[in-house]
Amino acid sequence: KAPGVFAAVDLGASSGRVMVAEVAPDRLDLREVHRFANRPVRTAGTLHWDVLGLYTGVLDGVRAAGRDAGRLDGVGIDSWAVDHGLLDGDGTLLGNPVHYRDARHATAVPAVHAVVPPEELYRVTGLQHLPFTTVFQLAAARGTASFGAARRLLLVPDLFAHWLTGAVSAELTNASTTGLLDVTTHDWAWDLIDRLDLPRGFFPPIRQPGERLGELLPDVLAETGLAGPVPVTAVGSHDTASAVVGVPASSDRFAYVSCGTWSLVGVELQKPVVTEESRLAGFTNELGVDGTVRYLRNVMGLWLLQESQRTWAAAGLPADLSELLAAAARVPAFTAVVDPDDARFLPPGDMPGRIAEACAETGQVPPQNQAETVRCILDSLALAYRRTVRQAAELCGRDVEVVHLVGGGARNALLCQLTADACGLPVVAGPVEAAALGNALVQARAGGVVGGGLTELRALLRATSEVRTYAPSPGAEGSWAAADARVRG
Ligand code: ADP
Ligand code: LRH
């Protein structure tokens, strides 16, 4: 049987990419055909996504995929969570989606909590508290002219699927990040929606990963030079859900670090954990493919490094990643460590300055140069992974034997080794493009090219992807435990 050929569109916070995946029961071949920068834009004080620029990247990528492969059996889209466009009654987008790092969202947290207390929000939705979750974004947008004119809300991947096919839908895994989906019924949490006085009509029908959304519209076919019909399938449209599908695990005793702009650290479960202890520890129950639960925490991630590089480049300092990492590898460990989840690191800005400030406040000598700053970031991330993996295992009663680290961070050998040392567990690093692979595998299964559950899809991944294993260094535990005590204060 001929392999299926699928375009996987994966939009990350730092870049968008379109990959061609050729999939057969014994074959999975992934090629990047288009990559473009994702640069947020601030206008009149508000941070936005350049959504039309990103859509142009999607169209360019789909065109490149068709050229590369000769034909396409399908297209699937995943992207970051929580952010959305509001559409008016004609279906026109009401302004650029606001970026989750914009400061306005957090201002609405008290108003939401006054109506639905945080304990109840957790029991119903299972989500960790993040000040930019869609429920807070909507409360912050209330009163604006565009909110008043809005009739529909489409999450970012659903918005692109809408422009490609005309479909109006909300894919389940990403809907589970809004703070407005019931983690038990997997439907919109209508009671919360009513109490928060949000229009029910905003929320489109839920679609499961694997459902067919529609076909590329004639104008899209013309624009991309493709011959129809080309189906568009709902995948795990939350990039983290697709990345977890793309973890090449061989048993269920694994933890993962989906390591890109954010680090999403946790385990895969069959049932949510919504205990008060879990809420206080900041764990989330996002929904995964095939009825799974992604029990995880957001760790601030390589954003700390990306923003440091941006700050240095703007100041005319060297900012080449491989040189910075090589220099950081020569710096002694634990000169200083910070809590990466400190809220001061969330907005864009002078990250090296904020890191120095956090070190000084905790009585540590701040990093003295770029290499020490990078080392501080990597040590601090590895330490946060250690804490989170251990806490996740404890809170859900799961034994963890291996940590799978996927995403761009799998290219960072120093971070992978530090993670193995910090966790005291082997780290299997790769694939880098786990999200695109998870996206393509769900499409291939929906198209009947491969069968089975996540176990079978992951067996195909293991047989076809490149990974590298990092063993924990003997005798490392003591120094990591001491560093952990230092951060906790
Ligand atoms: P996102 O999906 O959030 O845009 P990615 O998964 O693409 O993020 O990861 C991007 C990050 O991966 C970069 O910020 C960088 O730190 C890391 N990375 C990418 N390439 C390399 C490399 N060659 N060496 C080390 N780290 C890398
Ligand atoms: C990673 C991610 C993460 C969300 C954040 C907003 O790209 O989707 O899972 O919490 O972006």
Give the number of other Cβ atoms within 10 Å of residue 476's Cβ.
17
CA of 482 to the centre of ligand 2 (A): 30
Dist. CA 68–CA 162, nearest whole Å: 25
Q: Is 310 in the pocket of ligand 1 (CB under 6 A)?
A: no
Q: Is 299 in the pocket of ligand 2 (CB under 6 A)?
A: no
Q: Is 262 in the pocket of ligand 2 (CB under 6 A)?
A: yes
Q: When comparing pLDDT for 1 and 315, which is higher?
A: 315
Q: Which of 78, 302, 418 to mutate to test the pocket of ligand 1 (most atoms within 8 A of CB)?
A: 302
pLDDT in tens, 387-446: 999 999 999 999 999 999 999 999 999 999 999 999 999 999 999 999 999 999 999 999
Instruction: Classify burial at 320, counting beta carbons within 10 Å of its beta carbon; exposed 0-12, middle 13-18, buried 19 or more.
Output: exposed
At what angle are helices 303-314 and 321-329 packed, to 10 degrees?
Answer: 110
Q: Is 430 in the pocket of ligand 1 (CB under 6 A)?
A: no
Q: Is 260 in the pocket of ligand 1 (CB under 6 A)?
A: yes
pLDDT in tens, 410-423: 999 999 999 999 99
pLDDT for the residue 93: 98
CA of 471 to the centre of ligand 1 (A): 22
Dist. CA 448–CA 168, nearest whole Å: 24
The radius of gyration of the chain from alpha carbons, rounded to an integer in Å, stands at 22
Give the ligand at the shortest distance from the Cα of 304. Answer: 1
Could you confirm whether 239 is annotated as catalytic?
A: yes
Q: Whose CA is nearest to atom 9 of ligand 2?
A: 240
Q: Whose CA is nearest to atom 26 of ligand 1?
A: 412
- 298 touches 284 (CB < 8 A): yes
Secondary structure element (H or E) that encloses residue 148, with its range: helix 145-149
pLDDT in tens, 333-350: 998 999 999 999 999 999
Instruction: Using alpha carbons, select from 240, 107, 131, 237 the residue that is nearest to residue 179.
Output: 131
- The ipTM estimated for the assembled molecules is 0.99
Task: Taking residues 353-362, report their average pLDDT.
Answer: 97
Q: What is the DSSP string of 32-100?
A: EEEEEE---EEETTEEE--HHHHHHHHHHHHHHHHHHHSS-SEEEEEE-SS-EEEE-TTS-B-SPPBPT
Q: Which residue has the tokens 């769900």?
A: 442
Dist. CA 107–CA 375, nearest whole Å: 33
In this structure, are strands 293-299 and 284-287 parallel, antiparallel, or unpaired? antiparallel
Residue in 10, 73, 102, 239 annotated catalytic: 239
CA of 406 to the centre of ligand 1 (A): 10
Does the pLDDT of residue 1 top 80, yes or no? no
Task: Taking residues 259-284, report their average pLDDT.
Answer: 98
Query: Could you tell me the CA-to-CA distances from 367 to 238, 323, 357, 360, 379 in Å, in that order?
Result: 36, 17, 10, 10, 12
Instruction: Classify burial at 321, counting beta carbons within 10 Å of its beta carbon; exposed 0-12, middle 13-18, buried 19 or more.
Output: middle
CA of 478 to the centre of ligand 2 (A): 32
Q: Whose CA is nearest to atom 12 of ligand 1?
A: 408
Residue 356 pLDDT level (bands cut at 50, 70, 90): very high
Q: Which of 78, 83, 155, 240 to mutate to test the pocket of ligand 2 (most atoms within 8 A of CB)?
A: 240
Does the pLDDT of residue 487 top 90, yes or no? no
Dist. CA 62–CA 25, nearest whole Å: 24
CA of 432 to the centre of ligand 1 (A): 8
